[in-house]
Amino acid sequence: MWKPDRKSNQPLYQQIADDLEQRISYGEFPPGSLLPSERKLADQLGVNRSTVVLAYAELRSLGIIESRSGSGTRVSRTKWGATPKHTPNWHRYAEGGNFLPNLPFLRRIRVALEQDPSIIDFASGELAGDLAPIDEINAIMNEKQNTSYWGYDNPQGYMPLRQALVSFLKEYRGIHTTESSILITSGSQQSLYLITQCLLSPGDAVAIEDPSYSYSLPMFQSAGLRLFRLPVDERGVQPEDIRSLFKKHKIKMMFINPNFQNPTGTLLAEERRKKLLDVASELGLPIVEDDPFSLTAYKGTPPSPLKSSDAIGSVLYIGSFSKIAASGLRVGWMVAPHSVVERLADARQQMDFGLSVVPQKVAATFLESPFFDPHMDRLRSTLLYKRDLIIEVIQKEMPDLVEYHIPDGGLHLWCKIVPEVNDTKLLDAAIQRGVIFVPGSVYGSDSSYVRLTFARARTEDIHTGISRFAEALRSTLEIEN
């Protein structure tokens, strides 16, 4: 983002006014549109609010912008000559459509991360730079490329990657499948989007875990689905709950994350897995099995997925590279009956005309390379180290304030805050102190939970991050009491 030049002879306010005038003339802010508040713009540009006040005054004197008390500062409509010209009412257009905006908490977190790159990040559900196989991927990218065709690819995805996944799924997850049963997606998010948009209709009822990552996804509501809860205890969901939801609400599908569930970190117990498949096949009910974390099992023997015991094709299995290699590659996959794969591939063509072959090639090469196993070993041991570290620091900094279940895999620690606390206030206090996390209510849980991701922050920042969090928590509790 542009910032004023403090070494220039031109005053800061004048630089800001010139930049804004240019942005307005380029159409970034059309006539009638709302400009950032003085405080917000000052934050973004790293200047005093008074400097922005001067810049806005300058533009106002030129008739470029108008301020009215209570409705903020807008680009002037009248400057544009005597003929009646109308900019489309973009604000109203942006409110249209079927798409709900992301949750306010998630947007707040994204903005905070953008504005302060030095903030200690316990919020982003991804791997730190030192956990991703960066050297390995760079080495693969540096191998001689001799692609001879750069055209549109098969709608199901790049064939060599599908072939590599057939071997990968058999060896690492006990899933027997074929290339034609695999759809390559840009990640679990796209897999879920395709399922909710193309296999379900508005008004359909679905069962999701409680708490669950699914609550953080407005895509379920955007698709007009009715959500019903399957409470997660320390052994996962209870299969019998499905039967009663089915009877009462005619649910059409269930979404399950059986291994190191996000956010709770729990494992679905063996006997419940069997029971779940039995109930599903008895009711003819599909299971969407989201399985991003299995391979992070710290002890190295990941639990078998439901899909590996799915004799009759009830399970749509979703996997991805994001949590075990690099989220920036944007490569995931789905295993499903051929008719489903064909339908979703056809719909995806209409949304984005398929994926780039470049990251798919990198992913296929990485999976089949000698880098893969050593990377996974290193990932597992580093995650275990970070998990132990965050727990050690929590025990030191705030043993009386939080409770948690120790996860055996995954990227997250799910914590209950023992005294009741308002999570909006806690988040504000944490951001002020330079640390960020995801409030539990994002996952449909009550306000006294937080998800602390220990995979994303640098190891050397974990102690400081937890100290800051503890301080934020104490100060929030003090103000409340």
Residues numbered 258 to 287 that lie near a second copy (CB under 8 A) are: 281-286
When asked if residue 372 is in the footprint of a second copy (CB under 8 A), the reply is no
Instruction: Look up tokens 């025990």; give the residue.
Output: 395
Residue choice 227, 358, 389, 391 for contact with a second copy (CB under 8 A) = 358
The site map against a second copy for 87-106 (x = CB under 8 A) is xxxxx-xx-xxxx-xx----
Report, in Å, the least distance between residue 447 CB and a second copy.
24
By three-state DSSP, how is residue 186 classified?
coil
User: What is the C-alpha separation between 456 and 127, in angstroms, rounded?
Assistant: 5
Q: Binding to a second copy (CB under 8 A): which residues in 386-445?
A: none
Closest approach of Cβ 281 to a second copy, in Å? 4
Q: Which two tokens stand for residue 194?
A: 């395709």
Distance of closest approach, residue 209 Cβ to a second copy, in angstroms = 19
- List the interface residues with a second copy, window 169-188 (CB under 8 A): 176-181, 185-187
SS3 409: coil
Distances (CA, A) of 182 to 191, 195, 336, 439, 465: 11, 14, 7, 35, 41
User: Of the candidates 214, 264, 327, 448, which one interacts with a second copy according to CB under 8 A?
Assistant: 327
* β-bridge pairing 287-290 and 315-320: parallel
In angstroms and rounded to an integer, the radius of gyration of the C-alpha atoms of the chain is 25
For residue 340, state whether it binds a second copy (rule: CB under 8 A).
yes
- Nearer to a second copy by Cβ, of 140 and 391: the residue is 140
Written as six digits, the tokens of 13 are 């306010």
Binding segment toward a second copy, per CB under 8 A, in 206-214, 233-241, 351-359, 469-477: 351-359
Comparing C-alpha atoms, which of 438, 440, 362, 397 is closest to residue 141? 362
Residue choice 142, 171, 299, 481 for contact with a second copy (CB under 8 A): 142
Identified binder of a second copy from the candidate list 60, 343, 425, 458, rule CB under 8 A: 343
* Bridge partners, residue 219, by sequence: none
**What is the per-residue burial (b if ≥16 Cβ within 10 Å, else e) of 246-277?**
beeeebbbbbbbbbbbbbbbbbbbeebbeebb
Query: Among residues 63, 72, 328, 399, which is the contact residue for a second copy, using CB under 8 A?
Result: 328
Candidates 312-320, 401-409, 411-419, 425-433: pick the segment binding a second copy (CB under 8 A).
312-320
- Here the tokens at position 17 are 């006014």
Pairing of strands 226-231, 205-210: parallel
Q: Name residues contacting a second copy, limited to 292-311 (CB under 8 A).
A: 310-311
Nearer to a second copy, 247 or 405 (CB): 247
Count of residues touching a second copy (by CB under 8 A):
120
Q: Does 291 bind a second copy (CB under 8 A)?
A: no
Determine, following the binding rule CB under 8 A, whether residue 71 of this chain makes contact with a second copy: no
| Residue 356 sits in the site that holds a second copy (CB under 8 A) | yes
Q: Are 272 and 239 in contact (CB under 8 A)?
A: yes
Query: What is d(CA 463, CA 461) in angstroms, rounded to the nearest whole number?
Result: 6
Instruction: Look up residue 389 and give its two tokens.
Output: 């570290």
Strand partners, 157: none
Nearer to a second copy, 155 or 211 (CB): 155
Which residues fall within 8 angstroms of residue 381, CB to CB, at 6 or more apart? 298
Does position 73 interact with a second copy (CB under 8 A)? The reply is no
Site string for a second copy, 186-205 (x = CB under 8 A): xx-xx--x---xxxxxx-x-
Least distance in angstroms from the C-beta of 304 to a second copy: 15
The secondary structure of residue 327, as a DSSP letter, is: G
Judged by CB under 8 A, the residue of 146, 171, 406, 478 near a second copy is: 146
DSSP 110-151: HHHHHH-TTSEESSS-S--TTTS-HHHHHHHHHSPP-----S
Minimum CB separation of residue 429 from a second copy in Å reads 25
Interaction between residue 235 and a second copy (CB under 8 A): no
Q: Shortest distance, CB of residue 37 to a second copy, whole angstroms?
A: 15
Residue span binding a second copy (CB under 8 A) among the ranges 150-158, 255-263, 292-300, 390-398? 150-158
Q: What is the C-alpha to C-alpha distance for residues 377 and 354, in angstroms, rounded to an integer?
A: 32
The DSSP letter of residue 236 is: B
Using the rule CB under 8 A, which residue among 52, 165, 207, 355 binds a second copy? 355
Is 211 strand, coil or helix?
A: coil
Which of 338, 378, 396, 405 is the binder for a second copy (CB under 8 A)?
A: 338
Q: Is residue 11 within the footprint of a second copy (CB under 8 A)?
A: no
> Please, which residue, 201 or 432, has the CB nearer to a second copy?
201
Stretch that binds a second copy, among 218-226, 259-267, 401-409, 429-437 (CB under 8 A): 218-226
Measured CA to CA, the distance from residue 187 to residue 328 in angstroms comes to 10
Closest CB to a second copy among 206 and 267? 206
Rounded to whole angstroms, the Cα distance separating 437 from 422 reads 14
